[in-house]
A = this chain, B = another copy of it.
């Protein structure tokens, strides 16, 4: 029986995806199948291809809505592969009776992000289901991007530093505060990251965006694929006070909730300060949060000692993205 945990971005989803991949026997053509996007050489460029379905609840939240989220989510998966997005698809599954006004607000959000990054919607699909068959709206955005060189999510080596491009957990906390009606000034970090990746391109050894499963899932994935350990300094990770407070109230680990406009970079130790400098010029609240070490665990160094920062298991927050 499929459980909520199977879609949560943690251990159980990893196991399900492994099992699915064993069922699907046709391989070849594309590389990077377990990265944020798959890529294939075409002429003198790499073409990168990725997909994501979005089911966020509420559909409108502080700092965005499902339209903005869907476009940012998918183009960011292209961006962290080093690709410039050149076209996206937009496939809507809508509940009968969904408000016209809300639909057009969502489309306006899609358009705003597309204008910001100059990426057209080039193909689409629209299905309408009866009440009870889908709640609200589900949005799939797939995307195609191009680059001269792909940036992987692995290849970290001992001595490298880990840089985050801004504060952690804002998206998850904003969704939760919208969902539960908390009074809060918190907004989602949902935003395109192309500019930041592009500006640091020459320095990046590996990068990934910490979405479902948050910083913990992201770092564990990068460490596992790179066959290294990572030590994170708890006090260096930028976390907004309100985000901490919401996570404390709900008993959620702030390192396990989604960001939708942040990047985790792995860079050479000697380049870390330069990368932080470049990102800060772009108004990113970037920080060096840790370093890559020999080993295979992600460890959080806190004021009272060290603990493992494990791959999340189970679902802490549903319909977050």
Contact = CB atoms under 8 A, between A and B. Distances in A.
Interface of A: 1-8, 13, 16-17, 20, 23-30, 33, 37-38, 40, 42-45, 47, 49-53, 55, 57, 86-87, 89-100, 103-104, 107-108, 110-111, 114-115, 118-130, 132-135, 138, 140, 142, 144, 146, 318-319
A26 B90 CA distance: 14
Given A23-B107, A33-B120, 8 more contacts: A7-B127, A7-B128, A30-B87, A49-B87, A51-B91, A51-B123, A129-B135, A134-B134
A123 B4 contact: no
B89 A49 contact: yes
Nearest to A121: B24
A213 to B, nearest CB: 13
A99 B3 CA distance: 10
A37 B89 CA distance: 10
A138 B52 CA distance: 13
A25 B29 CA distance: 33
A239 to B, nearest CB: 26
A47 to B, nearest CB: 6
A45 B53 CA distance: 29
A142 B89 contact: yes
Nearest to A52: B125
B53 A93 contact: yes
- Nearest first, the 3 closest Cβ-Cβ pairs linking A and B are A43-B43, A7-B128, A51-B89
B114 A40 contact: no
A145 to B, nearest CB: 11
A86 to B, nearest CB: 5
A94 B318 CA distance: 13
Contacts of A114: 24-26
A179 to B, nearest CB: 13
B89 A122 contact: no
A52 B91 contact: yes
